[in-house]
Structure 1
Amino acid sequence: MPTVKASAAVSHVGRIRSNNQDSGYAGRRLFLVADGMGGHAGGDVASAIATRRIAEADVDYDSAPEAAAALEGALIAANRRLAETVAEHSELTGMGTTVSSMLYLGDRVVISHIGDSRIYLLRSGELSQISTDHTFVQRLVDAGRITAEEAMVHPRRSVLMRVLGDVEASPEIDQMVLDTRDGDRWMLCSDGLSGVVSFDEIHEFMSADVGAKQVADRLVKASLDGGAPDNVTVVLVDIGEPAAPATPPLIVGSAAAPLAFGAALEPVRPRGIRLTPFRPHPVQETHFEPDSADYFDEIIEEDARRRRRRRWVWGFWIAMFIAAIFAAILLSYQWTQTRYYVGESNGRVAIYQGIQQNLGPISLHELHTETDIDIAELRTYDQQRVVQTISAGSFTEAFQIVQRLEESLD
């Protein structure tokens, strides 16, 4: 029977944010990441409240269905607690949080997920994203309107369609019960990681043959090296025979600090890591739009933008293709005009500039010089050569051919 071999949780404020609105929890059976929204006034409070309430579900269960019901109930209870907090503290109106949580139970894991934090699984060297983002741009991707790459820079990439908070009394939560086995490595993270570090880079870091804590540290540092425009939180869980006694539950991020309702927080500056000046894209506050009224309008507009882009791209490449053809024709014609040949004109030996062929109605040669040498006076062999034309690489070479023909008359 597989068990939790090791786990780790790391959270960092990032380069741009003044406070950490992420929270993470690595417990005995329960693991979660929460990414708060609502700006400076409430994002940290929302993720902290949700994390602390959901952490109460970190107990033993007799079956996967029981664990699934308990975990979903914990998220619903956290949602209710957030609404109650807003009712008591109006300055927190609009706050909310994403939650990606995993509850380990024997050879099964129960997953409850809402928002755009993510859950990944590395199994037998292959990495897969288990959760689905509840975002506006993910809907556009699912509908085939934009690509995953376009979603990364879409102007509405920060719009969430589902969160816990004071916005919905009964939010829809994704739930799954999946198998797990020895050697599996699970990773839960906020979008501060997935929005900066690519899927291939995450795969590379998670595949490293090092401990969970080292992998989590490396992933966070990769986000910081990439600019870290948002808070970044990573929770790693390795499945297998434990090599050491289980570590006590660990809380990181805003949930690890006392709650501050409406209090101004001092900016937290990263220490011990040298950061690059690179900033991948402007920082945008995540916000919630339940069943956005603009969704279908955006789809229509996105289709129109794609059609315009497609027409522009096709027009550009067609123009480039036509320009390349004309350039090739022009260069070829210019080359033909560097060639000469000796032939016949009005019964006399003549020098032509160009080549003997024509390109449809376009002549690739013109008379350059008509000599006084009558072809009829040439030897039979030379007559045939002139009539069939004698190629020359330059005017000088053509002139020398004419001289030799003239000398043959003596």
Structure 2
Amino acid sequence: MNLSVAYCSALGGREENEDCVGFCADERIGCFALADGTGGAKGGALAARAVVGEVLRSFQQVPGVRSCNVDWTLAAARRALGLARQRHPDCAQMNTTLATLVIDTLAATASWCHLGDSRIYLFRKGRARILTHDHSVLQAMLDAGLARGEVRARPERSALYATVGSRDIPPTAMCAGPLKLMSGDVFLLCSDGFWDSVDEGAMEEALDEAAFPETWMDGMLGRIPDLSASHMDNASAVAVWVGPRIEMTRVMRAPCADAHRAG
């Protein structure tokens, strides 16, 4: 099986892009990471860059043994955030979400972990499935039956109980075990600014119309009425396609991106 990747990171209506995306992949294995610096404290963009950079550096050191158990990504992220806080005492409260995905094409498995409300989706046979569980107070209330309705478009959904800088790691931060890949699987890592603006139905519709990950990303972004509207948060995503729909394996290394698309 082959991998093909596209990503986007849009500023939205914010003054600064506090999202960061990055990935490192070859024919055999790939690591994909997305972080969204949390609001309310100075240094969110710095925190996101530090965390994504350290996750990818750690992966590059010993990629072959990192495909099944991805708890190392959480350790790398927390280490990076702690060091960044020490080096920038004026940003001692900076924090970030994290979503990481590791795909091993020879073993045909995918593993992931996350903290916060950045999500990882699997699209199998064109249908969306959310692999992660938002670590938000609103989601916890919905789970407990203390609230009703959708998470999207509700301002209180941004209150998080788990992030990279949290003291405790919830059990839902890690996948239960590696997922066996099927040819044609598609993954999407995205920040809350992205999934809040593009629902699962729109994601599926855009995927059905797309021949390549770049055109899928274009299609999803095209469904956002106004990316630069004042209410728009930063919106970032990484699309990973697995299987024969891609004509050739694309070997890529990408730094943190605050531009638009690349593939």
Change (3 A) 1:92 1:240: same
2:251 alignment partner, one of 235, 247, 250: 247
Equivalent position SS for 1:201: helix
Q: Which residue, 5, 9, 15 being the options, matches 1:11?
A: 9
Greater relative contact order: 1 or 2 (C-alpha under 8 angstroms, separation 6 or more)?
2
**Aligned residues: percent identity?**
26
Unaligned residue ranges in structure 1 (runs of 5+): 257-269, 271-410
| Closer/same/farther in 2, CA of residues 89 and 26 from structure 1, 3 Å limit | closer
State the AA in 1 paired with 2:197: V
Of structures 1 and 2, the larger Rg is shown by 1
Contact 1:98 1:116 in 2 (8 A): yes
Give 1:41-120 correspondences, 5 Å limit: 41-56=42-57, 57-58=59-60, 60-62=63-65, 66-69=66-69, 71-106=70-105, 107-120=108-121
Equivalenced residues, count: 246
Matches within 5 A, 1:358-377: none
Instruction: Decide whether the 8 Å contact of 1:7 with 1:26 is kept in 2.
Output: no
Separation of aligned partners in 2, 1:197 and 1:74:
27
Give distance in 2, aligned partners of 1:124 and 1:153: 28
Contact 1:34 1:98 in 2 (8 A): yes
Deviation at residue 156 of structure 1 after TM alignment: 2.0
Aligned partner letter, 1:238 = W
Whether 1:145 aligns to 2:143 is: no
Give a deviation string over 1:157-208, Cα, whole Å, max 9, x none: 110111113x42x534323421111111111110111112222112211222
3-state SS of the aligned residue for 1:244?
A: coil
Q: Deviations over 1:318-374 (max 9, x none)?
A: xxxxxxxxxxxxxxxxxxxxxxxxxxxxxxxxxxxxxxxxxxxxxxxxxxxxxxxxx
1:40 positional shift: 7.2
Cα 1:136–1:232 change in 2 (3 A) is same
For the residue of structure 2 that corresponds to 1:84, the secondary structure is: helix
**Equivalent residue of 1:193, what SS?**
helix
Matched residues in 2 for 1:94 and 1:38: separation? Answer: 10
SS of 2:21 mapped into structure 1: strand
Instruction: Give the root-mean-square deviation of aligned CA atoms.
Output: 2.3
1:9-408 map, 5 Å: 9-14=7-12, 16-28=13-25, 29-39=30-40, 41-56=42-57, 57-58=59-60, 60-62=63-65, 66-69=66-69, 71-106=70-105, 107-149=108-150, 151-165=151-165, 167-168=166-167, 171-172=169-170, 173-176=173-176, 177-223=178-224, 225=226, 227=229, 229-241=232-244, 242-253=246-257
After superposition, the Cα gap between the structure-2 partners of 1:73 and 1:60, relative to the gap in structure 1 and judged at 3 Å, is closer
Query: 1:215 and 1:40 mapped to 2: Cα distance?
Result: 34
Q: Is the contact between residue 7 and residue 238 of structure 1 (CA under 8 Å) also seen in structure 2?
A: yes
In structure 2, list runs of 5 or more residues that go unmatched. Answer: none
Q: Is the 8 A contact 1:96 1:164 kept in 2?
A: yes
Q: Distance in 1 between matches of 2:149 and 2:237?
A: 22
Amino acid in the other structure paired with 1:52: G
Q: Residue type matched to 1:24 in 2?
A: V
TM-score, L = length of structure 1: 0.56
Following TM superposition, by how much is the alpha carbon of 1:12 offset from its aligned partner in structure 2, in angstroms? 0.8
Give the superposition deviation at 1:39: 4.7
